[in-house]
Amino acid sequence: MESHEEKPIIYTMENKPIVTCAGDQNLFTGLYGLLSQQLPREPMEWRRSYGRAPKMIHLEANFVQFKEELLPKEGNKALLTFPFLHIYWTDCCRWQGALRLHGSTDWLVVVVESDGKKKNKTNILPRTSILDKIRNDFCNKQSDRCVALLDPLKDSSRSQESWNSFLTKLRTLLLMSFTKNLGRFEDDMRTLREKRTEPGWSFCDYFMVQEELAFVFEMLQQYEDALVQYDELDALFTQYVLNFGAGGRNVHTSVFIPPVMSVVRRADGANWLGSFCQPVRAWSGLLLRRPIDMEKREVIQRGEASLLDLRSYLFSRQCTLLIFLQRPWEVTQRALDLLHTCVQELRLLEVSVLQGALDCWVFLSCLEVLHRIEGCCDRSQLEANFSHTVGLWTYATEKLKSLGYMCGLVSENGPSSEELNRTVDLLAGLGTEKPETVNSLQSPYKKLKEALSSVEAFEKHYLELSHAALEMYRAIGRLRSGRLVGKSLAEFYMRKGDPQMAQTFLQDALKSYTAEGWSLPITHTRKQIAECQKQLQKTEDYLQTSALLASDANLSDEERKHFCQEILTFASQASEGKDQCMALSMTAFAQLRELQFHPSAATVHIGAALQLELRLCSLMPVPVHLEQLVCTVLYSEIRPAPAGSQRRPALSPDGTVTFPATSPSRGAAPGPAAPALELQEIQDRSPSDNALNSTGVVCKNVHLLMRINDNPASLDPPSAAASAITVEDGAEMLKANDVTLLPGNNSIIFSAPSLKAGSYTLRQLCATVGQVQFVLPHIYPIVQYDVYSQDPQLTVEPLTESLLAGLPQRVKFTILTGNYTVKKGDALQLSNSDSMPILHSSACSACILTSTGDQVGEASVSIQSSEKVTSISLPQTPPYHTLEFQLEVLCHIPSAPARAESERLTNGEVRHRPKNRTRYNSGMASIDQKVSVDCPWSIYSTLISLTFYTPFKAQHSLLSAGKRKYIQVCLRNVSDTNFRLANQTLADHQCTPSLQLLSLNAKTHQLVYSKQCVYSLWEVKWATEPPSCLQCVFTASFSPADAPDTALKPYRYEFQIERVTTLYSVKAEIQPAVGEQHCHAGALCRLEVSITRVMDPSEAEREDEEYTESEGLRTTKLMYEVVDNSSNWAVCGKSSGLVSMPVAAMATHKVQMEVMPLFAGKLPFPSIKVSKYLAHSAPPTTQPEADSCLENDNLSLLDKGLEDQGDTASLRSRGSVHSLGSGEQQQRGPPMPRLESFSPGQVFNCSMARQVLVLPSTDDHVLEVNVT
Amino acid sequence: MAVCVAVIAKENYPLYIRSVPTQNELKFHYTVHTSLDVVEEKVSAVGKALPDQRELYLGLLYPTEDYKVYGYVTNSKVKFVIVVDSSNTSLRDNEIRSMFRKLHSSFTDVMCNPFYNPGDTIQSKSFDSIVSAMMVQSS
């Protein structure tokens, strides 16, 4: 520093670059105000060296009168007092010499001309010449360093212009001076820095040099640049300390160092660090209220600064500049870093520090920074930036706390003498309060002093700080950090003997740890809570917490045993008068893992044994003896469907219910598990008639569920939940006495009550240990078992898929005894029926099965048959068992249509007639047989229906060959069984003696396979007259093919055939056209149909047929039709017509017509159909037209004769319609001719299936094929 | 190098937390848990950026006198926290970043294991060995 007078300039930091003025002082004084005011008005661009970005800068200057003393001497590094520019106003001889003497080239000569002067003088000496002369005289090579200023005090445009150009010139030159002088300074500085490895180099000296540069930047208001200077110093120092600390042990050469630095070695470079390693004697904290802390600066300058001094000074400068730069939040950030760094560095350098001194220093510094920030920000800004300041608050709180602990201010008894001494030592290191804060009431210094002065004051300050930090954390949402502060507070309260306060904070913290599943903090916090609760004598809560801790795997075995013992000790205490049990949650004590039912369906009948195996995992570290383990059961009378038809969802097939594993001590890991919904059905019945009034579902734990929804983040601490535990009183309960639960899995077996039918729901599990009850309030998933009561049941079912009639069949009788006990002498009474006798053998045995299907016994069943009743006496059978036996029954195949008569059964019921039904799918006729059974357990009869199926279906047909007749019977096996068939016989029912039925069948047995037929054929022969009607009976014997030994069973089929005799024979003949040998396709051929009466009408026929008497000849009218269904022939002309046949043997009628074959080949003849023509009901005599028609045998005439009939087709259709109608209707309807077809045996077609050869038509189409 | 490495699930419960055995494990649990405050703050500040520009590395969460706590958050909001001793000044930002990258890739391997049930605590040996390497490296 130069001299003492200049100090204040530096103090205020309001100095400006110095510009000296010499020459005409009067003139300058006149211009001074204007100049200093207008110089900063316009910014100038400042181009920088070393690639730094150019800057716009507003220049200011401190114009001082030129004195030679102002010129810096050789080697002086001060920049603040450096005159950057020298201005000479008008007269300049000796001045320049003085400047030159000091090597200053930054000067300017200003020639001020006044207008008046100019006017007075004539133009002998031109105005410019003065300037020129001065230029020539002084600035021989720097003509720009001379400026003419035109009467600046006058307000004319000319003078304004010259004034402006002067200002510009002045700025430019000033900047040039800066660039040059600062550049030179920086170069020097760098050179100095490069010498840092040389012995004797001192960081403090270098510090001063670089700080000088920072000052100038600050002076030029280039705060950013100034800050850079300090940051470089900071980094350089940090690096020194690190390397020094790393020391000889481990030289880091690879670490990253900013380019301005290079390797610093401890051995030769860092002896100057010695001063920083001196023991810390003062810990007065940062001082940020002064722009420059001159005291500290001087200490540094003298090289006597301690590490804290240097760091404090450096930080105070950085803080000042950051606040100038309006970055207060960076201050807090850096402050925290600085404090941590200092603590680390002192540790690294192994500087000896009085215990607690650093805590004081950090505490004071934190508060100082906070005060400084508060001083430059308003309230809202502060609140918005709590996240930047809260760290400092917490740090200060921690430090104060540790000071308090150290100085015995937290214990209940107050500080000991040793602690008091320590306090005194610590206070001594604070020194005296700085003058800046002496008058403020809330200075950090005063706070610390006060806090350390007494227990009460400490508490006040500590709580104040803690709550402030808590409040801020809450405001910015850092809840976890807040919890940690809270825990710290809790520890404090515990030390102070205030567990009540501590517990609140701990519970909050626990809530947050539990919610996020952090097991170690949970355990730790819970342990603290347990201590609180013990002190507060909250026995129930304490025991609950102890249970949780005893089951906590994070704790050591000893700790767990300790907590377990706490519970057991309490439990074994004799109850003092009130034997009130303490109910605790079971979740911490033991976990229900599995529950298994035996039998697995969990459904039993009344009185049956149902066992329930409980797998309980004890979480206690030691075996615990339970006096009682009770599972309460809710009974509801709802009758379940028997035999477990509906399976409960939670129940696995082997009857196990598995409970989801929860870990109470760790909290629910992936988010808190909501309590299970607990629903119960309610039914409101009217008291008078027990009718259901209303029903509904009630949720029994709405309060729990709703609470979860309200506050999803929080989980109720177990102690709070424990208070909600209520032990239900259920009438039914499962109980086990004196159970010892070993650590880990235990299996306990209960016998479940099953005396009443209904549904039993397991509700609660309660383990009693002395006075303590561990309760599992809800068993979820819901576990139920059902007890049912069942009425006895009888079922009869076929053994095979279907029962066949005609063969003995086995049926199974099954009796489910249900709640009925079959006593000795109990019998089933079956009503007999003729169509279905019960075939009983002497040895018939019955099986007795349990409800689960295990056979427990066999007994014989005796069957006695009387005329009307078959009695089956049953063996003794216990309830809920199954009795099974088989019987053989036979159902006769009904041979004749069932008679419509209703028999009365023995028991007076109307017998249900067996109904013949046809199963459409198989074509099997079925017979339903009903049997009425009287059971011993019921006064009502049980009606059992059995359906039998007829295995065969028979069809007959009459075949003719001329006059000879044959009967064919087709027997179709419609069942699934193969049968052996024997003794097919056909007999005439009427036993006509002249008639003979000649069998054409094989004599041996025949097999009828399933779904196949057997045909049998008989020729009918007669002696005298052919029978007009035949009544036949077909009988056959059958037995199942796979059981040849069994007796053959009969099968009978009755049928009747009428109109057996052949009346007419029809013969067709086709002849080719005249001259042709064969028929040709497409050529007309002649079709001749001859109809011949085969025999004389019999007596029966005579009455039956309708004859026409004409000219003494009896005739009958026949209609013929030529039908070609296969479109082989085209009939030309009429294809049908009427003929009148004389009723006499061998009477023949021939009809000719033209037909044309449509195809070549062997064509079957068109079929010819002959039917009876019955003229409308008019008397047979009045048919003249028909007669003429007959005579002419003309088809066209026939048409006429049919009067209004359009064509034969319509006639045919009408006729067929009428022939379908009944005779009576025929008579009443309009008189219409009708057709009646003959029975199959009456017309014999001789040319049936005949064929004729048709040649292709003469081919006119020649296909030429040329091969080239 | 690291004194504590933790992986924290999206729901903020620890999937993995391991610290050097010489020091108080509980303290690290508290430290890591508290650091979630800052992680959440930073994530919500970063969250406004476009997803592909989002930087997973959160940098220094907060320094304490003894430790520096660094954070990293995956796209699925799983958080990694590494605690480093404050005295270990030689550790640079880049090294921390590479530690996080290693951790992330190993964590991805764990997630790819078909036998690992996402949300369970990590018990993978290879993950453990990666973490061990991080904790041993310098000391």
B117 in contact with A, Cβ within 8 Å: no
Kind and range of the H or E run holding A445: helix A444-453
pLDDT of residue A526: 93
Question: What number is the average pLDDT over the span A721-748?
Answer: 74
Write down the pLDDT at residue A122.
41
Task: Supply the ipTM of this predicted assembly.
Answer: 0.92
Q: How would residue A973 be classed by pLDDT, with cut points 50, 70 and 90?
A: confident
Tokens of A747: 């299996």
pLDDT of residue A10: 37
Q: What is the tens place of the pLDDT at every residue in B61-104?
A: 888 888 999 999 998 889 999 999 887 777 788 999 999 999 99
pLDDT tens figures, A150-187: 666 666 777 777 777 777 877 888 888 878 888 888 88
Predicted confidence at residue A440, as pLDDT, reads 78
Q: Are B34 and A513 an interchain contact pair (Cβ–Cβ within 8 Å)?
A: no
Query: How high is the pLDDT of residue A7?
Result: 36
Confidence band of A502 (pLDDT split at 50, 70, 90): very high
- Min mean pLDDT across A101-105, A246-250, A637-641, B57-61 is at A246-250
Lowest mean pLDDT among A74-83, A1096-1105, A1159-1168: A1096-1105
User: How far is it, in rounded angstroms, from Cα A50 to Cα A192?
Assistant: 17
The confidence score (pLDDT) of residue A57 equals 77
pLDDT band, residue A804 (cuts 50/70/90)? confident
B104 with B72: CB under 8 angstroms? yes
Tally the C-alpha atoms within 13 A of residue A951's C-alpha that lie toward its C-beta.
31
Q: Taking a C-beta distance cutoff of 8 angstroms, is the pair A31, A74 a contact? A: no
Across A342-351, A427-436, A472-481, which has the greatest mean pLDDT? A472-481
Residue-wise pLDDT tens digits, A398-423: 999 999 988 888 877 778 888 888 88
**Alpha carbon distance B96, B107 (integer Å):** 16
d(CA A749, CA A243): 73
- A-facing residues of B in 86-105 (CB < 8 A) are 86-87, 89-90, 92
Q: Which two tokens stand for residue A188?
A: 């020097």
* Å between A368 CA and nearest CA of chain B: 18
Burial status of residue A1063 (CB atoms within 10 A of its CB: 0-12, 13-18, 19 or more) = buried
Mean pLDDT (whole number) for A1087-1099: 78
pLDDT digits (tens, 9 = 90+) for A818-875: 888 888 888 888 887 777 777 766 567 888 888 777 888 888 888 888 878 888 888 8
Task: Work out the mean pLDDT of chain A and round it to a whole number.
Answer: 76
**Percent of chain A surpassing pLDDT 70:** 75
The pLDDT tens digits of the residues spanning A297-347 come to 888 888 888 888 889 899 999 998 898 888 888 999 899 989 998 888 888
Among B34, B63, B119, whose Cβ lies nearest the Cβ of A670? B119
Residues above pLDDT 90, as percent of chain A: 9
What's the rounded Cα separation, in Å, for the pair A349 and A280? 12
Q: Is the pLDDT of residue A35 over 90?
A: no
Task: Give A342's contacts in chain B (Cβ within 8 Å).
Answer: none
Neighbours of A1232 (CB within 10 A): 17
Contacts of B92 in chain A (CB under 8 A): 256
d(CA A1133, CA A1194): 11
- Look up residue A656 and give its two tokens: 């196990």
User: In 10 A of CB A218, how many CB atoms?
Assistant: 24
A1053: confidence class by pLDDT, cuts 50, 70, 90: confident
CA–CA separation, A469 and A451 (whole Å): 17
Of A74 and A177, which is predicted with more confidence?
A177
The per-residue pLDDT for A366 is: 92
Q: Among candidates A77, A37, A41, A74, which has minimal Cα distance to A56?
A: A41
Secondary structure E strands in A1006-1135:
1006-1008, 1013-1022, 1029-1040, 1049-1058, 1064-1071, 1079-1080, 1085-1093, 1108-1110, 1113-1123, 1129-1132
Tens-place pLDDT, residues A875-898: 888 888 888 888 888 888 776 443
Q: Are A109 and A144 in contact (CB under 8 A)?
A: no
Query: Does residue A1194 surpass a pLDDT of 60?
Result: no
Q: What is the residue extent of each domain of chain B?
A: 2-134
Taking an 8 Å cut-off on Cβ atoms, the answer to whether A516 and B12 are in contact is yes
Buried b (16+ CB within 10 A) or exposed e, A820-839: bebeeebbbbbbbbebbbbe
Of A129-138, A690-699, A1184-1193, the poorest mean pLDDT is in A1184-1193
Q: Is the pLDDT of residue A1103 over 80?
A: no
The pLDDT value recorded for residue B17 is 92
Tell me the C-alpha to C-alpha distance, in Å, between residue A22 and each of A25, A34, A66, A178, A625: 7, 17, 5, 20, 109
Spell out which chain A residues touch chain B, with contact meaning CB-CB distance below 8 angstroms: 242, 252, 255-256, 336-337, 339-340, 343-344, 347-348, 387, 391, 395, 473, 476-481, 484, 513, 516-521, 524, 669-671
At residue A509, the pLDDT reads 92
Segment of A668-672, A1204-1208, B98-102 carrying the highest mean pLDDT: B98-102
Shortest distance between the Cα of B136 and any Cα of chain A, in A, equals 18
Cβ count within 10 A of residue A1165: 22
Locate tokens 């804060």: which residue? A437
B26 in A contact zone (CB under 8 Å): yes
Tell me which chain B residues have a C-beta less than 8 angstroms from the C-beta of A347.
87
Q: Domain spanning B2-134 has what CATH number?
A: 3.30.450.70
> Does B30 reach chain A within 8 Å, measured CB to CB?
yes
pLDDT band at residue A138, thresholds of 50, 70 and 90?
A: low
pLDDT of residue A920: 43
Chain A hits for B40, Cβ within 8 Å: 477
User: A185 or A27: which carries more pLDDT confidence?
Assistant: A185
Give the percent of chain B with pLDDT over 70: 92
pTM equals: 0.63
Give the confidence band of A387 by pLDDT, cuts at 50, 70, 90: confident
Checking if the pLDDT of A941 tops 70, the result is yes
| Residue A721 pLDDT greater than 50, yes or no | no
Residue type, A897: P
Of A242, A395, A478, the CB nearest to B37: A478
How much is the pLDDT for B34?
92
B13 near A CB under 8 A: yes
